[in-house]
Chain A
Amino acid sequence: MTESPAPGTDTVAGVSPDDVQFRFREDEMADHAQVTVDAFLEQADAAAVRIEPGDDARALIPHLERLKLAEVNFPAFGDGRGYSSARILREAGYAGELRAVGDVLVDQLGYMRRCGFDSFAPDAPIAASDAEAALARWPHVYQNAADARRTIPEARHE
């Protein structure tokens, strides 16, 4: 199903489902029209948002009910604000698709998964075998984050 945005609304250049390279969700991928955070807040029927590094993900929290897809843009891999945006949404209970797009590199996939991202549309495609190796790299984790992994401190004291 394709939802076309009403004329005159500011749809942004979100990625299309075809660009998604890796996805860790069971539900079917829908083609929602991603709009800016400001537009999402104004348009009561918007279901998908694209979060830029400078956007405040907190503003979305009162509207999680209708949010089906949150796309977080990483214009440059070194700008790590998107990691916080992702965790903020997950901590608020958002369970929909959380997609990392842009300058997403193989060495970042593990951290992104831990922050709650469950789909990836990197600008430069990543070889599936490299992604698999990167995601399997860390046998353990030290910190609690947005995933359900048991942490090292928890394992030590159970």
Chain B
Amino acid sequence: MYAYDQYDQAMVDARVAEFRDQAQRRLDGKLSEDQFKPLRLMNGLYLQLHAYMLRVAVPYGTLDSRQMHALAEIADKYDRGYGHFTTRQNIQYNWIRLEDAADILADLAKVEMHAIQTSGNCIRNISSDHFAGAAADELIDPRPYAELLRQWSSFHPEFSYLPRKFKIAVIASDTDRAAMKLHDIGIQIVRNDAGAIGAAFYVGGGMGRTPMIAPCIREFVALDQLVTYAEACLRVYNRHGRRDNKYKARIKILVHELGAQEYAAQVEAEFAHLLDQGVEPPLAELERIATFFADPPFEDDAATEIDRSDPDFALWVDRNTHPHKTPGYVSAVISLKPVGGIPGDASADQMHLMAELAKDYSFDECRVMHTQNIVLPHVKIADLHALWSKLDEAGLGSPNLDTVEDIIACPGLDYCSLANARSIPVAQKIQQRFADSGRTAELGELKLKISGCINACGHHHAGHIGILGVDRKGTENYQLLLGGSEAQDTSLAKITGPGFDEDGIVDAVEKATDVYLSNRADGERFLDTYRRIGMAPFKEALYD
């Protein structure tokens, strides 16, 4: 994986020094909260309902064991012994004291990590496919391109005060595991007819209160023009994106109002101009970065057969592993969705364990998934039983990847000051309901996503089943949505009808799954059945 050189380290160290100074000025009363706010936001420090929250960037979700150990130590030393992995492949700490924030950043800098641009109206952490460099179906590892863009977007002088936050995802496989088309810019690394590798740009997707699927605005950008094209996309947005209304300020609104074709034409003109300006880093830089992502020394002829006599183990293997490009290996997912837990939370002890397992079984590497789980990308099939035994013992062996128990939930009213309703208790009740009924396995792939308000941090628009917390005359109320997807068949979920109270929404989810089970054709997932039979039968079951 990528390692800092003296330059990367110097930049992060400078940021720590700058923030230490800013925080001290705030603590001394030399800066008002109003003046301090934009500064702390550039460093991922939010003020929540009860305390400060610090969001740490995990570029494209990749961590080594040293970094995961450091995250655990921060949880122990400065928080309440927990961290929360997010849908942006980052980690958040919910109980931070301002006095400690600069020390935390310094601890992070020691392991080549930071909280730069994890909030604010700037280019945020670049996300990617959590199976990058491992998946059997990928064209090439997308992370070198993500790292190139990470460097380009860090402290960007022109694009640090954009109309709104800006999120970029990079993938390199036809299977989309990063919700690429629901980003401000989604990039798919592709091979063109001439056999050259380049990038397809999708611009103007997003969730929030006006969800949109990004249109493709250019099918192929040459690799030695990648940064220049991204710069052109951003400049058109920075100049013309709306600033009069925060809710219309994302690039999706600009692309929608101009039309994808007109936006693309403006980008094209800007791109042609910028090509003469020498903004592109030398191609040798991309090649340098790529060397860090070379394959680890996989064993030839690693065994592909395992003893499946233990049914619990066999179930976990079937549910939680993903095909690897190298025979004899798989990617193994550690579920952070134990029934009744908080989706995406991990204790310091669990983080330490995951770090050790990454070191012992996965070439010292793990990944944060946008579904708030952790992947060990390169596990020998022969090691799976030993790995699973250790996970199971630590309560990390839930065999529920992509099932109804693998719920994405935002922090909601338990933490977030913008929330209308709690997300976490609803997630827990739903998990419990299906764990009790034993239906989880029978339902198969079913992606359920919960947001505590219309900002959609829990991606409810993209859930096969989505739940949106709203405020109904001062009480928490939940709307049910069906039919969303964030995969390559991206679609936006539709609201079923009037909302439900907390227990009502759990019943409603169960009723929706009943409709699926009684209507499904062979091999159909919930989403497929919904797409075939439409909303009507679900409405009937829910409201009649």
Q: Measuring CB to CB, which residues of chain A are less than 8 angstroms from any residue of chain B?
A: 53, 77-81, 83-84, 87, 91, 107-108, 110-112, 114-115, 137-145, 151-157
Contacts of B157 in A (CB 8 A): 83, 110-112, 114-115, 141, 143, 145
Extra pairs beyond A83-B238, A114-B157, A137-B18 (20, CB < 8 Å): A79-B161, A80-B160, A81-B238, A83-B159, A84-B239, A91-B277, A107-B22, A108-B161, A112-B157, A137-B17, A139-B14, A140-B7, A141-B155, A142-B11, A144-B277, A144-B278, A151-B281, A154-B281, A156-B5, A157-B288
Given A80-B238, A142-B152; A87-B158 close (CB under 8 Å): yes
A81 in contact with B239 (CB, 8 Å): yes
- Shortest CB-to-CB span from A76 to chain B, Å, is 9
27 residue pairs of the A-B complex, CB under 8 angstroms, read A77-B161, A78-B161, A79-B161, A79-B243, A80-B162, A83-B157, A83-B158, A84-B158, A107-B22, A107-B39, A111-B158, A115-B158, A138-B14, A138-B155, A139-B10, A139-B14, A140-B11, A141-B155, A143-B157, A144-B278, A144-B281, A145-B158, A152-B7, A152-B11, A153-B285, A156-B7, A156-B284
Q: Which of A83, A151, A154 contacts B161 (CB 8 A)?
A: A83
Does B121 belong to the interface (CB within 8 Å)? Answer: yes
Interface centre among B7, B17, B154 (most CB of A within 10 A): B7
Contacts of A83 in B (CB 8 A): 157-161, 238
A115–B10 alpha-carbon span in the complex (Å): 22
- Shortest CB-to-CB span from A105 to chain B, Å, is 8
Q: Secondary structure of the B side of the interface?
A: helix
Does B282 belong to the interface (CB within 8 Å)? Answer: yes
Tell me how many residues of B have a C-beta within 8 Å of chain A.
37
B38 in contact with A77 (CB, 8 Å): yes
Q: Measuring CB to CB, which residues of chain B are less than 8 angstroms from any residue of chain A?
A: 5, 7-8, 10-11, 14, 17-18, 22, 38-39, 121, 151-152, 154-162, 235, 238-239, 243, 273, 277-282, 284-285, 288
Contacts of A108 in B (CB 8 A): 161
Contacts of B238 in A (CB 8 A): 80-81, 83-84
- Shortest CB-to-CB span from B293 to chain A, Å, is 17
Contacts of A141 in B (CB 8 A): 155, 157
Contacts of B279 in A (CB 8 A): 143-144
- Shortest CB-to-CB span from A134 to chain B, Å, is 8
Residue of B nearest to A114 (CB): B157
Contacts of A157 in B (CB 8 A): 282, 284-285, 288
Residue of A nearest to B22 (CB): A107
Nearest 10 pairs of A and B residues by beta carbon: A80-B161, A153-B281, A114-B157, A111-B157, A153-B285, A152-B7, A83-B158, A157-B284, A144-B279, A139-B10
Q: Which of A112, A142, A155 contacts B154 (CB 8 A)?
A: A142
Contacts of A142 in B (CB 8 A): 11, 151-152, 154-156
